[in-house]
Every structure is written in C-alpha cells, then in structure tokens.
C-alpha cells in the first residue's frame, strides 16, 4: 500500500522526523490560506502516487506538477490550475492521474542532498538502514556504480536501533557536531515510525541539510506490510482507492488476489505459484496475459462468479483460461461454479478450462453436460496453446 | 528414511478446533498420520474426532503424548505467539501453515528461535508430506493441507515455495510412476523458517532420496544460493521450475514474498543460476515431471 506525500508528512510530524512546514489543501482558498502561514519561498505540489511530477503535464496544458511561488495569491492560483485536473507523468501512463489535493510547503534552501531508507531485508531477516551521500538520485545506480558511497547498518530485530549504529551512519555521511545530532534524532524517529507502523520500507530521498544547519526529510516513499494492516486502522484509512486499478479494488472486496496487466488472455487459477506459472505459459505460447488472478485454495461459487465478472470488465480480454488443480478442493464444485457464473454473465469470448486433481472425472462431466460453450484441455501446456489459438481464430 | 518426518512421527495441531485446522486434522487422521494431540487455549479436556485429546498448552500436550512436531493453524494475529509456544515446549519441528502473518512478527520469532533446537517450516506453506506405502500413499505422515492421495512413496525429494505447484509436480511424478521420499512446502513469505538450501542439504544426506525437484518463484535470492551450493556439493540429479517470468516488477504476486524489487529476484536470474548449476529447469509447469526424468538420464 502506498500513501500520499502529505500523509507521509503527517506521519513524520507524529514521530518527530523533521520535515519542512506545510499543509494539504483541497481548494484554491485552502491553498492560499496555508501559504499565508509560510515563508517567502513556497512550493505547491500535486498529490498523486506517481514519480516525475515536476516534469509532468496536465491535460489542460498546464506544465509541471511542482511549482515554486512567492505569495499566497500565487499559491492559490497555481493550486487552482492543478486541483480537479489530470496530471500525466512518465509513471502514470497516458491516462494520467486526477489531482484532488495539493501540498503547500516551505521551499527549503538546500545545502546538500542525502539518501536515507529503512527496509525489511529478507536475507538478514532484519531491518536494514541504508544511507548515502548521493541524494535525490536513483539509489540503485549509486549502489551499482559507486558502492563506496552507500552505508548500511543491519539492526538487531530484538534490540532495535543502537546509538553506535547512528554514529556509524553519521560518520559515513560525513556529518558532525550539531548536524550529526539532528541526523540522529531524525533517524531515531524514522526507525520508531518504521517499527510502529509495520512498514516494509520507508525511503527519504532526499534527506537534506540547509545552510542554517537543519536536517530535513524532504520527500518520502512508504511501503506498508499488507499483512499487518489489521492492527493499524489509522494507516489503512490513508488508503486512496482512486489511485488504484478499479478492477483490483473490486477484486479485493471478494478476497480475490487480482493484478491487472496489459494482455488479452485472462486467467483464473487456484494458488499464487500456479497463477504466476499460468501467466508465464500464456506468454510462452505466443499470447499475452491480461491478469494475475488467484482464487485461493477454498474458492466458493460466489468468488468464481465475481472473478468472471471482474475479468470480463476488462475490454482488452479476448479469451479466458481457467486452470484449476483441485488438491483438497473438489473439481466438481469448481466446475459447477464455472457453469453458474457463465449462466449469469454474457460470455461471448472463448473459454478454455483445464481441470485436474480431486474428483476431476465428475468435474469434466459437469462441464460437458452443461450448455456452456467451452474448450476443454488436459494439461496446462495444452490449455495455453488452445487459448492462444482460440483468440487468433 | 525420508527427511524431517516419517510414518512414526507423532504430531500435534495448534488451532485444531478452527474450521480450517479441524478439516485438515481430519484429513491427516484419514491418511493414517499419527496425530496425537490438539491444542486450543480454553478447550483443554475436550477431544477432536472422539480420539485426539485437546490441551490448553503445547507443554501439556507434549508431556502427555510425546508429540515432536507441531502444526500451526492459528490465525495470523496469534500465530507468532503460537510458534514461540511450540519452540518453548521443545518440539523438534514447527510447521506453520498460517497465511498472512505480519513480517515484523516473523522477524522477531526467527530472532528469538536462534539458539533453540527447533526447526521452523513456513509460514504460509502447504506443509510436509512423507508418503506412506499403503493404497494412495495411505499410512504416511501428512502435516498441513496437501492432498495426500496424489502422493506415492519413492525416491524423489520435492521442495517448493508454492502449494499448488507442489501438487502439480507430485501429481506428475506419481503419474510417471516416480514416488516421493518427502515433499516440503517452505512457504511464500519473505521471512520463513527453512530455505531451499536447508532442504537440499537434507535431501543430499538422505539415502532414500535419489533425485530432487526444486520449485521456486520470483523474489529474494534463495534459489540462487541453493543452486550455487548444489553445483559444488550435491551429486543427486535435480530438476527445477521458477514461476513469475511475466510478473510486473514491484508488484506482489499473491505470495507476500513473490516480488521483484530493485531489479532483484527475477525469474531470469534464478533460471540462469539453476541452469549454470546443472539443474534441469522445466520450461513450463506441465514439464516438471519429465524434466526430472531428463535430469536422471
């Protein structure tokens, strides 16, 4: 789950992570009022979950989702050109993203930019802090080209962040005196936020120092552990469904694991590994998968029906491949679910079904005796070939 | 011999009175597995299926029944505590089936288990099966949620991060007449108890296992590490499969651990590492059984 920049700022303030003064605004008036409480250099930023905002273009022709202004009037004027408009950046795709809020904040005089992140590292099974003297740039490139500019501390899962680890990082970044102290305070707050909110990643890029000796988190990216959201209703409330694929939002309502892709062969599979493998084999057979969809180990007829509806709501879909390995699940129950679903939705594209496993003979009979027009397949390889052939016909 | 468990292993189930745990407890009993105890706090003194005693704590269950393996069917918010309780009771093996445990909880559990003698498999895994020698492999040790009847006792070791892909592989092997020594699902979470490498080492030592299938998916570098080790140390034939070549970067594909991030954990890197280690990698999941036949020459 991602959150907006203004929400990240609010979390930073709650955990004592120093960040420039600012506020979120939903109207031109709110933006002007917020700006009037700030200094003489103000930045207005469109709030969407996408990078490249500064270089983006609004569909109304207005250039740039990040602007520097001097007065409250100007801030209001710029906000008026952003709110309610659609911003296209290199990460949003052509359709762009609707901007419903802007953030108005003090523009910071930057002395130097750094990189600071905390992530859950699977190899060491621990939180790892990564810091670099190269801020505001792509950290993966820094790690590849100049690994000596990256500093890492692996934090003990039970002990937590220790003072010497902070000192190591400050020394690596070349910070000393009061600036090092401020960095330590910021990092402690950031670590506490990371742990308290069950983050899988918090990335501050850039972290900056200012000529007057402040250390500030200027921009942040968060990733939360979805498995832990049940104990963080306040964080779950930050979720903005308008930022997501509507098919994925719909699928989540029925506990279906769905991820939309660009292809034209939809798939419905039980099990995440098998669902990935089904996408792979569609591609291998010369087709393009339209989605990832895992209906889970105990799918009900209701779930199968809703899965079909979501798949068919994608106008790109030209064919469907159902791949079920009934382990404990009864293939006949799945077969009945497919027949019921096809009875309710107006199916007018090819449907290839591969069933294997528990009670498969009865399942295949149910499908054969129904009036659903489908193409049966024996193995997954056979199913993928048939699906690709059916949409090419 | 098999690895981890055999037909004489006594197991208990934490969360036996839940609908999911209860259903699979019954399937394990039907398979002939020595399920000797259940644990549900507050339900001590009751019995499951008229024969299996239920205890309030794992300690009591172990003391009374001599169970050496615990299976976790406890819901995610309580699963970390349940694993630690089993470790404290001194069982040899904990198999955590539960899906959806917060990563932070697993991080702490793993750190707390560091000096214990207990091995953890999972979480978010289908479990472990050492097939029996009866009809439809009856009489074996079935821990977790795998369909017992698709197995056949034999010489192939199976290790996988995914449930249904494990069943696919086992089904293909059995259809080809190739039985299995032990099938281990290590789970789809980013922090788990036992890696591909740990299981490869056990299969390599196990005299009953003559060939191995290793099934992986995108995310992390566990398959690469296992392949590098196998190249140097394993003389048994290995076949493999990796799912997720077409998965978009940065998206979690169902399993919490199945994600390509920062260019790491791609299917391509894993397949290359496995092929370089002499592992016969199947092109598609329908080919896993045949790939093993090719590997065995």
- Taking only the tens place, the pLDDT of each residue in B168-196 is 999 999 999 999 999 999 999 999 999 99
For A382, the closest chain B residue by CA position comes to B286
Average pLDDT for residues B62-84, to the nearest whole number? 98
Other Cβ atoms closer than 10 A to A107: 17
Q: What gap in Å lies between CA B110 and CA B191, rounded to an integer?
A: 8
For B257, the closest chain A residue by CA position comes to A122
| Predicted local confidence at residue A393, as pLDDT | 72
* Catalytic residue numbers of A, as ranges: 115, 203
pLDDT surpasses 80 at B262: no
Contact assessment for residue A71 and residue A36, using Cβ atoms and an 8 Å cutoff: no
Helix (H, G, I), strand (E, B) or coil at B151: coil
| Nearest CB partner across the interface for B286, out of A157, A269, A380 | A380
Q: Name the DSSP letter for residue B150.
A: G
Q: What is the dihedral of CA B21, A364, A347, A392, to 10 degrees?
A: 110
Is B175 at the interface with chain A, CB within 8 A?
no
CB half-sphere exposure, A277, CA atoms < 13 A = 35
Selected residues 278-337 of chain A with any CB under 8 Å from a CB in chain B: 279-284, 289, 292, 294, 297-298, 325, 327-328
| Higher per-residue pLDDT: B204 or A393 | B204
CB half-sphere exposure, A160, CA atoms < 13 A = 10
Other Cβ atoms closer than 10 A to A151: 18
Contact assessment for residue B288 and residue B231, using Cβ atoms and an 8 Å cutoff: no
Q: Tell me if B254 and A226 make a contact (CB, 8 A cut-off).
A: no
Chain B environment of A273 (Cβ under 8 Å): 160-165, 188, 215, 217, 243, 254-255, 258
| Predicted local confidence at residue A91, as pLDDT | 83
The whole-model pTM stands at 0.93
Q: What is the pLDDT along chain A (393 residues), one digit of tens a residue?
A: 789 999 999 999 999 999 999 999 999 999 999 999 998 899 999 999 888 898 999 999 999 999 999 999 999 999 999 999 999 988 888 888 999 999 999 999 999 999 999 999 999 999 999 999 998 777 878 888 888 999 999 999 999 999 999 999 999 999 999 999 999 999 999 999 999 999 999 999 899 999 999 999 998 889 999 999 999 999 999 988 888 888 888 898 888 999 999 999 999 998 899 999 999 999 999 999 999 999 876 677 788 888 988 998 889 999 999 999 887 777 888 888 888 888 887 788 999 999 988 888 899 999 999 888 899 998 899 999 999 999 987
SS3 sequence of B200-241? HHHHHHCCCCCEEEEEEECCCCHHHHHHHHHHHHCCCCEEEE
- Checking ipTM against 0.90, whether it exceeds it is yes
Taking CA B103 as the corner, what is the angle to CA B100 and CA B109, rounded to the nearest 5 degrees? Answer: 105
Q: How far is A159 from chain B (nearest CA, A)?
A: 10
Q: To probe the interface with B, which of A327, A357, A382, A383 has the most B CB atoms within 10 Å?
A: A327
Q: How far is A30 from chain B (nearest CA, A)?
A: 35
Chains A and B: how many Cβ contacts under 8 Å?
A: 169
Q: What gap in Å lies between CA B40 and CA B43, rounded to an integer?
A: 5
Least trusted range by pLDDT, from A151-155, B60-64, B225-229, B258-262: B258-262
Share of residues in chain B with pLDDT > 70 (%): 100
Q: Tell me if B251 and A259 make a contact (CB, 8 A cut-off).
A: yes
Q: To probe the interface with B, which of A276, A307, A323 has the most B CB atoms within 10 Å?
A: A276
Contact assessment for residue A341 and residue A305, using Cβ atoms and an 8 Å cutoff: yes
Helix (H, G, I), strand (E, B) or coil at B58: helix
């Amino acid at each position: 789950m991602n959150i907006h920049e203004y929400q990240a700022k609010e979390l930073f303030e709650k955990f004592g992570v120093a960040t420039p003064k600012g506020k979120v605004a939903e109207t031109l008036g709110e933006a002007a009022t917020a700006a009037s409480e700030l200094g003489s250099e103000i930045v207005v930023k469109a709030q969407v979950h996408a990078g490249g905002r500064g270089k983006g273009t609004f569909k109304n022709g207005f250039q740039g989702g990040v602007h520097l202004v001097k007065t409250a009037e100007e801030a209001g004027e710029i906000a008026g050109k952003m709110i309610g408009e659609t911003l296209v950046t290199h990460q949003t795709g052509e359709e762009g993203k609707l901007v419903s809020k802007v953030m108005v904040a003090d523009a910071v005089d930057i002395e130097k930019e750094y990189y600071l992140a905390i992530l859950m590292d699977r190899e060491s099974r621990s939180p790892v802090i990564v810091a670099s003297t190269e801020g505001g740039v792509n950290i993966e490139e820094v790690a590849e080209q100049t690994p000596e500019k990256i500093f890492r501390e692996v934090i003990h899962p039970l002990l937590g962040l220790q003072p010497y680890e902070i000192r190591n990082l400050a020394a690596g970044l070349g910070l000393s005196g009061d600036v090092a102290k401020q960095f330590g305070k910021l990092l402690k707050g950031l670590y506490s936020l990371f742990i308290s909110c069950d983050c899988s990643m918090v990335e501050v890029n850039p972290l900056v120092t200012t000529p007057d000796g402040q250390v500030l988190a200027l921009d942040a990216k968060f990733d939360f552990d979805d498995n832990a959201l049940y104990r963080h209703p306040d964080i779950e409330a930050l979720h903005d469904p308008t930022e997501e694929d509507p098919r994925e939002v719909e699928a989540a309502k029925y506990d279906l694991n769905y991820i939309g892709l660009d292809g034209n062969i939809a798939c419905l599979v039980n099990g995440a590994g098998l669902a990935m493998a089904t996408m792979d084999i569609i591609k291998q057979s010369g087709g393009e998968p339209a989605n990832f969809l895992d209906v889970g180990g105990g799918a009900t007829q209701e779930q199968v029906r809703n899965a079909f509806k979501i798949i068919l709501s994608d106008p790109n879909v030209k064919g469907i491949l159902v791949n079920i390995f009934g382990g404990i699940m009864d293939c006949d129950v799945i077969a009945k679910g497919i027949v019921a679903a096809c009875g309710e939705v107006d199916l007018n594209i090819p449907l290839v079904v591969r069933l294997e496993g528990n009670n498969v003979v009865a399942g295949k009979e149910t499908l054969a005796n129904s009036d659903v027009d489908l193409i049966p397949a024996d193995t997954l390889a056979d199913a993928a070939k048939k699906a690709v052939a059916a949409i090419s016909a | 011999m098999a690895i981890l468990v055999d037909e004489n292993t006594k197991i208990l189930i934490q969360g036996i009175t839940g609908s999911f745990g209860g259903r699979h407890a019954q399937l394990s009993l039907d398979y002939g597995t020595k399920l000797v105890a259940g644990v549900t706090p507050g339900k001590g003194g009751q019995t499951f299926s008229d024969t299996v005693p239920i205890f309030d704590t794992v300690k009591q269950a172990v003391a009374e029944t001599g169970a050496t393996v615990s299976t976790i069917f406890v819901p995610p918010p309580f699963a970390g505590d349940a694993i630690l309780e089993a470790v404290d009771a001194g069982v040899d093996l904990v198999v955590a089936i539960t899906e959806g445990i917060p990563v932070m909880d697993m991080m702490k559990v793993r750190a707390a288990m560091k000096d214990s003698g207990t091995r953890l498999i999972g979480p978010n895994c289908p479990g472990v099966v050492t097939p029996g020698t009866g009809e439809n492999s009856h009489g074996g040790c079935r821990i977790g949620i795998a369909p017992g009847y698709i197995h056949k006792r034999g010489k192939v070791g199976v290790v996988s991060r995914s449930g249904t892909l494990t069943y696919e592989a086992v089904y293909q092997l059995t259809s080809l007449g190739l039985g299995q020594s032990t099938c281990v699902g290590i789970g789809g979470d980013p922090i788990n108890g036992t890696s591909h490498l740990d299981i490869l080492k056990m299969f390599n030592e196990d005299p009953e296992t003559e060939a191995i299938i290793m099934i992986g998916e995108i995310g992390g570098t566990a398959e690469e590490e296992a392949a590098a080790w196998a190249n140097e140390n394993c003389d048994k034939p290995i076949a493999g499969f990796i799912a997720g070549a077409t998965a978009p970067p940065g998206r979690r594909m169902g399993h919490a651990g199945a994600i390509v991030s920062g260019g790491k954990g791609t299917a391509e890197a894993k397949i290359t590492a496995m092929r370089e280690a002499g592992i016969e990698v199947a092109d598609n999941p329908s080919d896993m059984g045949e790939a093993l036949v090719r590997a065995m020459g």
